[in-house]
Structure 1
Amino acid sequence: MPVQGLHRAPDADAGPVVGLRDDLAPAYQQIQEAVARAIATGKAVTGTLRVGFSSQWAGDAVIEAADVFRQRYPDSAVRIQEVQLTDPFGPLRSGALDLQLTEFPVAEPDLVAGPVVFSEPRALMVHARHPFARRESLCLEDLARTPLVAVSGDVPQYWLDHHYPRCTPEGRPITHSATAAYWQEVQSLVATGRGASPVALRAAQYYARPGIVFVPIHDAPPIEYGLIWPVNGGTARVRAFVETICEVAA
């Protein structure tokens, strides 16, 4: 026989617990969605990614990132190759590369200019007997006092003007005495006194040789190195490598 009047008292703590659960639900859902995206991305990152670089220090950054990338995505592989100065965008446009770490600026309608990965101070590479070789540093106006060796080839004019200017900030003309298709030619022309060449200061660590001196340019903006890829080439592999190399460089 049921006992009249006997019933369970309401749980006084139920309200706060339910409220906390409701408050946490959106955050929990976001975590679940983030995990699901990470799993999906990991499954999508397979196959071979072809990455180019334009300088040895950029190559070092790519190689270091590739090691981390392979650990994160064991079903993927990374092939790395150097890109020549005379055709900086050709391999990307031909499909030989998927991604490239190179000197900015890049303003091409068929290429995406992604994040800047790192930057380097500028210097002037001069012959060891050049008057500038005894200086601790130079300014941009000094470029009007010596001929420059420039790069030839299929290189955009805006890129050349940025790295091999034809006038100083005050408008003084800068002479270009010779052009070179490859970096080794630039070094040889400088070493034989045919001209000077703007470079990243880090080049002194990689290309030191008799007859050449690297002098910092104290008022020049740094050279920025960023990632570029074709407009239609933003695959899961590319996005994952961009994220990886930015993390490694940082």
Structure 2
Amino acid sequence: MEIHQLNSFLAVAEELHFGRAAQRLHIAQPPLSRTIRQLERDLGATLFDRNTRSVRLTPAGEALLGPAREVLNSCRLAELAVASAGRGLTGRIRIGFAGASSHLYVGRLVKRVREHHPGVEFELHSSAYARESLNKVLDKTLDVAMVRWMSPTPGVDSRVIAQEQMLIAVPNDHPLAGEESIRMEDLAGDAWVTLPAEPGSVLRDALIKIADDAGFYPRIVQSAPDSWSVMALVAAEVGCSLTLASVAASMANPGVVFRPLRDSPPPLDLRLVWRRGDDSALLKEILRVSETALLEPGPDPA
């Protein structure tokens, strides 16, 4: 089989019409028909049932459809990889992110970069706290990171890639679980589950501030190392938790209900950060792609 034969086969298979397939390929119909007949002879199988009224894939044609797409996609990726290598856009990029609350954005960025630069390899590092990722960016263990912070950090540049609403997570049988939104003061008597009290624990700090504004100090009864564990404790009715819309979008736990706060606090900024002065061509391309890949709507708070 040759590449042009597979291109012709896919055009006919997707259009199910030789005339439209020929127009799509910018060739006349007779040469297209000859190419398909030659491919059928080479394979020893009929790929299309055709008559004057219709064209349909045979079982053999259906079987060829997936492999043909894979071959052509591999050819496209090979061309992109060579082109990227010619521009110095190959190698490894190390990305730090905060587990459940950022992996949707990481996946979006990696997918978009690989569409244009398949030769780029990604090394992903999940950490619970912004400070840990920022330190790794500064000591060159990471190239970029997705973090939330309460105040800027010297030595790095950044830009906001998402603004996330904070939500309250309650057990599904909590008295307020049926409300469309929850007032913070109505949770003054509840127990709370949070991430550990580490420097850079933005959500824990935000919980204390929001509760203080509502006139109480939260009774934190247990901490957990990551958002998945926190939500497991909420489902087990250990307590409520302050979390993010991205965490809610990542969870499939029927024991947890997510609700917005009645007096919604300002959203938290999620930032992409990198070392100031890093002039790597690959990093510059990652940042360029991120400008479009990470401008799409984030998780729906609902």
Where is the helix percentage greater, Structure 1 or Structure 2?
2
1:150-186 CA distance string (max 9 Å, x none): 2116433666423553733244322222222222321
1:113-160 CA distance string (max 9 Å, x none): x11111222211111222221221013434434232121164336664
2:188 aligned counterpart, secondary structure: helix
Matches within 5 A, 1:1-250: 43-56=87-100, 58-73=102-117, 76-85=120-129, 88-89=132-133, 91-93=136-138, 95-105=140-150, 107-112=152-157, 114-152=158-196, 154-156=198-200, 160-162=204-206, 164-165=208-209, 167-218=211-262, 219-231=264-276, 233=278, 235-250=280-295
- 2:227, 2:247 within 8 Å by CA — same for their partners in 1? no
Corresponding letter in the other structure for 1:121:
Q
Q: In the alignment, what sits opposite 1:39?
A: none
Q: CA RMSD in A?
A: 3.1
Number of corresponding residues: 209
Give 1:197 shift. Answer: 0.9
1:119 aligned counterpart, secondary structure: strand
Runs (5+) with no aligned partner, structure 2: 1-85, 296-302
Q: Please, what TM-score do these two structures have when normalized by structure 1?
A: 0.69
Q: Whole-Å Cα distance in 1 between the matches of residues 168 and 200 of structure 2?
A: 22
2:287 aligned counterpart, secondary structure: helix
Q: Whole-Å Cα distance in 1 between the matches of residues 282 and 142 of structure 2?
A: 12
- 2:234, 2:240 within 8 Å by CA — same for their partners in 1? yes
Q: Whole-Å Cα distance in 2 between the matches of residues 107 and 160 of structure 1?
A: 18
> Residues 153 and 140 of structure 1: is their aligned pair in 2 closer, same or farther, counting only changes over 3 Å?
closer
Q: Whole-Å Cα distance in 2 between the matches of residues 231 and 121 of structure 1?
A: 29
Give 1:202 shift. Answer: 3.9
Corresponding letter in the other structure for 2:284:
R
Give 1:200 shift. Answer: 1.4
- 1:85, 1:182 within 8 Å by CA — same for their partners in 2? no
1:132 aligned counterpart, secondary structure: coil
Corresponding letter in the other structure for 1:243:
R
Give 1:71 shift. Answer: 4.1
Moved over 4 A (4+): none
Higher relative contact order (CA 8 A, sep 6+): 1
Corresponding letter in the other structure for 2:232:
S
Q: Whole-Å Cα distance in 1 between the matches of residues 180 and 92 of structure 2?
A: 46
Give 1:241 shift. Answer: 1.5
Give 1:247 shift. Answer: 0.9
1:31-70 CA distance string (max 9 Å, x none): xxxxxxxxxxx83544211112214463232222223323
